[in-house]
């Protein structure tokens, strides 16, 4: 039976525990999530009949990943972890392990055991990072002024993450930097320069595997925010300055139209009375009286 030639799991665990206290050197790797990563052992040729075992240490629990053995001259390689399903590939010649589409969830400690006439152990610490996001620069100055020195206060920010740092560079020299272990807090870093128009400034967000930069544009960030962009109070003042003259003009037009209609109505009434008097006189005295009335009515009085 093939099982007669397999190493008993209890024996493997015992061997592993004996080696845990050996204090072997840990090789550290830093990788970008989504990539294909190969954990290299540095070996050029593993003995052909060696037993090769890979373990993943997660929260102090040893997860068996790969066991590769030679059974009656046949290579038997078993992949065990559901977490790494269809993503592992062992190279028996070097003992190296390839992980496809690596994710942050599989950051941690990996151990390789090669068992021949003796036992050799390698440890690898793998840190997987998300790509850092591009930093954003805005003007945090609250007051508006024609003076660039008084109105320009650039503030750079970026979404925080594992080992993310945010820095300001003047030309190629880093002049300030900030980081935080609390990944839920966004990182903010002001540019503390009284006159940022005299040099080239770049805000850089970085983690161990990726970098994003944003260069400070004084015209867009500061000058336009003073001369071109208006706050709510400024817009209110501008709107009032436009509406008052328009309202006065509308009022004057209304008064002119009203006076014109009043004048036309008075003249029309006078002409109608005059026509009635002219066509229906009863006697000379009555006609004279009505003519006097017409003369009085026909002469409009204006205040």
List pLDDT tens digits, range 173-220. Answer: 999 999 999 988 999 999 988 777 778 999 999 999 999 999 999 888
Q: How many angstroms separate the Cα of 202 from the Cα of each of 136, 168, 173?
A: 11, 6, 10
Residue 149: predicted pLDDT: 54
Residue 173: predicted pLDDT: 94
Residue 89: predicted pLDDT: 94
Q: Is the pTM of this model over 0.85?
A: no
d(CA 104, CA 111): 18
Tell me the mean pLDDT in the region 224-243. 57
Listed ranges 48-62, 159-173, 260-274; the one with the highest mean pLDDT: 159-173
Q: Which sign, positive or negative, has the C-alpha torsion 257, 259, 264, 268?
A: positive
d(CA 116, CA 149): 72
Q: Give percent helix, percent strand, percent coil of the chain, each to the nearest 5.
A: 30, 35, 35
Chain segment 283-300, per-residue pLDDT in tens: 555 545 544 444 444 444
Q: Which residue has the higher pLDDT, 237 or 42?
A: 42
């Amino acid at each position: 039976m093939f099982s007669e030639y397999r190493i008993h799991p209890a024996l493997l665990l015992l061997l592993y525990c004996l080696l845990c206290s050996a204090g072997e050197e840990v090789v550290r790797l830093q990788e970008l999530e989504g990539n294909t990563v190969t954990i290299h052992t540095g070996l050029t040729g593993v003995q052909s009949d060696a037993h090769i075992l890979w373990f993943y240490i997660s929260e102090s629990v040893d997860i068996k990943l790969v066991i590769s053995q030679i059974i009656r001259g046949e290579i038997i390689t078993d992949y065990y972890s559901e977490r790494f399903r269809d993503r592992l590939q062992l190279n028996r010649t070097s003992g190296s392990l390839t992980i496809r589409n690596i994710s942050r969830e599989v950051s941690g400690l990996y151990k390789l055991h090669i068992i021949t006439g003796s036992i050799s152990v390698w440890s690898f610490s793998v840190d997987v990072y998300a790509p850092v996001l591009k930093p954003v620069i805005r003007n945090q100055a609250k007051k508006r002024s024609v003076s660039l020195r008084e109105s320009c206060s650039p503030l750079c920010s970026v979404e925080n993450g594992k080992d993310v740092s945010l820095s300001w560079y003047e030309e190629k020299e880093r002049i300030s930097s900030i980081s935080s272990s609390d990944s839920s807090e966004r990182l903010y870093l002001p540019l503390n320069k009284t006159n940022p128009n005299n040099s080239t400034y770049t805000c850089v967000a970085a983690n161990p595997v990726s970098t994003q930069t944003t260069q400070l544009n004084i015209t867009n960030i500061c000058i336009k925010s003073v001369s071109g962009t208006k706050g709510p109070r400024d817009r209110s003042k501008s709107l009032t300055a436009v509406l008052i003259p328009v309202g006065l003009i509308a009022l004057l037009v209304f008064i002119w139209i009203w006076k014109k209609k009043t004048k036309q109505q008075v003249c029309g009434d006078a002409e109608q009375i005059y026509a009635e008097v002219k066509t229906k006189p009863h006697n000379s005295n009555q006609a004279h009286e009505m003519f006097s009335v017409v003369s009085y009515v026909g002469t409009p009085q204006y205040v």
